[in-house]
Amino acid sequence: MLLDSGAVRLRAFAQLGLFLPHAVPGIIAALIWLYLYTPGISPVIELFAKADLTIDFLGIHTVIPSIVNIALWSNLGYNTVVFYAALQAVPREVIEASVVDGAGPVRTALQVKTPLVRASIVMVAIFTLIWALQLFTEPMLLSQSSPMISSRFSPSMYIYDAAFTRNNYSLAAAASVVLLVCTIALSYGVTRFTSRAGNAEEAR
């Protein structure tokens, strides 16, 4: 929200920096992060070692945050484009009126812009949920370096394992249908929840 205001210096460069990850193919992004996560070749781990700190990005307690980090980084650009496009549609007179009323950049972002781009927030939330359920590339690549990632780490990996490792196509098809139903149900739930929250806020 703040990137749409003049409060952020070098705004164009900040927006470009946020969008660039989306231009990187998913498998390339996963390979880049695999390089940064792998002991012995990772410059990040070497920096921690110089500070007498030991970190294992693919350990039992860190592998999930590491995968989440890759997914968030990869999808950040798309979400930025959606939000920025929605913010451009916000009437400038509304923003100017909030400034005249004494609202600062943070207050304007939270109390003025956010309610006006609620539809985009819902869309991004649904797409993020779908991406999470379809997670495959990142854990599949990282599984080569981490025994913590099993073939059943994500629904898509389970379906892939059932179909192409165990040749159980019936199970893979059934799991795919279940995944589809769960995706539809969760997407509907997110839409209903945000719709009710918006109606409750408007009724105040």
Average pLDDT, the chain: 85
Residues 33, 43: Cα–Cα separation, whole Å? 11
As given in the structure block, the two tokens for residue 90 are 């916000």
Tokens 């009710």 identify what position?
A: 196
Mean pLDDT calculated for residue range 34-47 = 92
* CATH code for the domain in which residue 128 is found: 1.10.3720.10
Q: Give dist(CA 159, CA 171) in Å, integer.
A: 8
Q: Which domain holds residue 88?
A: 2-203
What is the tens place of the pLDDT at every residue in 12-26?
676 677 778 878 888
The neighbour count for residue 141, using CB atoms within 10 Å, is 20
Dihedral (Cα; 151, 172, 64, 16), 10-degree rounding: 120
What is the average pLDDT across 114-143?
Answer: 88
| Amino acid in the structure at residue 95 | I
| 201, two tokens | 């806020």
What is residue 163's predicted lDDT score, i.e. its pLDDT? 95
Prediction pTM value: 0.75
Tokens of 41: 């070749």
Sign of the four-CA dihedral 122, 16, 18, 142 = positive
Q: Give the C-alpha separation, 34 to 55, whole Å.
A: 14
Q: Are 59 and 148 in contact (CB under 8 A)?
A: yes
Question: Tell me: the pLDDT tens digits for 169-203?
Answer: 999 999 999 999 999 998 888 888 877 766 655 55
Q: Which two tokens stand for residue 103?
A: 């609202």
Q: Taking the CB of residue 97, how many other CB atoms lie within 10 A of it?
A: 13
Question: Tokens 């410059």 belong to which residue?
Answer: 43
Query: What sign has the CA pseudo-torsion 175, 178, 182, 184?
Result: positive
Domain count, the chain: 1
What are the two backbone dihedrals, phi and then psi, of residue 132, each rounded to the nearest 5 degrees?
Answer: -65, -40
User: What's the pLDDT score for residue 155?
Assistant: 94
Q: How confident is the model at residue 46 (pLDDT cuts 50, 70, 90)?
A: very high
Fill in the amino acid letter for 152.
R
